[in-house]
Copies of this chain bind each other. A is one copy, B any other.
Amino acid sequence: MAIQYIFEILGTIVFAISGSLAAGEKSTGQDWFGVTFIAFITSIGGGSLRDMLLGSYPLVWINDVNFIYAIFFGILLMRLFYTYLDKYRKQLMLFDTMGIALFTILGTEKTLELGFHPVIAAIMGMFTAVMGGVFRDMLTNSIPVIFRKEIYATACLAGAILFLILYQFDVHRTLNFILSGSLIMAIRVLAVYYHWSIPKFR
């Protein structure tokens, strides 16, 4: 339980960093309030949507203000090391990748343990990971991240499905977290590197 909590807080910090980085790239919302708001929505949007869809109250961050402080901490980190970090923009993409991997697995497991169908768990895991970014993009009038070229949400779905299969076979939780999370990160990194994309519908 303690380790899961650390991961949730870590995922929140990581998403706040990637959210405030993304906010800086937008033409709008570049003042302190705007960046904070966007980092906030990026961090808590996906998990909040999941819990509101599942009717699982109270929402995690509403019941535990440490998540709010984690977001502020992530934004502050970003601000302090901005000039330094700006050169490593590409490498920082890894924060977002870590965030989606963590949130997919945590969201899938939570939904499953609330007693919902595995198909719902996979969808909710993916929602937890990507919908915060989708809300951020809708707020700033940009094309939602899930519709851009390189594989993104599909990597989360693949990781969620692997998690569900290993869970079925009683694979140890920590091992399952590592394997499923690594799959998401590997697919995402390779997709960006080799410009992988999903086949066209038509």
Q: Are B147 and A202 in contact (CB under 8 A)?
A: no
Nearest Cβ on chain B to A152's Cβ, whole angstroms? 8
Number of this chain's copies in the assembly equals 3
The residue among A29, A33, A55, A200 with the most chain B CB atoms within 10 A of its own CB is A33
Decide if A201 touches B119 in the complex (CB within 8 Å): no
Is A92 an interface residue, CB under 8 A from the partner? no
Residues of A within 8 A of B (CB): 20, 23-24, 28-35, 37, 48, 52-55, 57-59, 62, 65, 68, 79, 82, 116-117, 119-120, 123, 134, 138-141, 143-144, 146-147, 153-154, 197-202
Extra 4 A-B pairs, beta carbons < 8 Å, given A31-B197, A53-B59: A31-B200, A48-B53, A65-B117, A68-B123
Question: Can you give 27 contacting A-B residue pairs, CB < 8 Å?
Answer: A20-B201, A23-B201, A28-B144, A28-B147, A29-B146, A29-B147, A30-B201, A31-B197, A31-B199, A33-B146, A33-B153, A35-B201, A37-B146, A37-B147, A48-B53, A52-B52, A54-B62, A55-B58, A55-B59, A62-B116, A62-B120, A65-B117, A65-B119, A68-B119, A68-B120, A68-B123, A139-B147
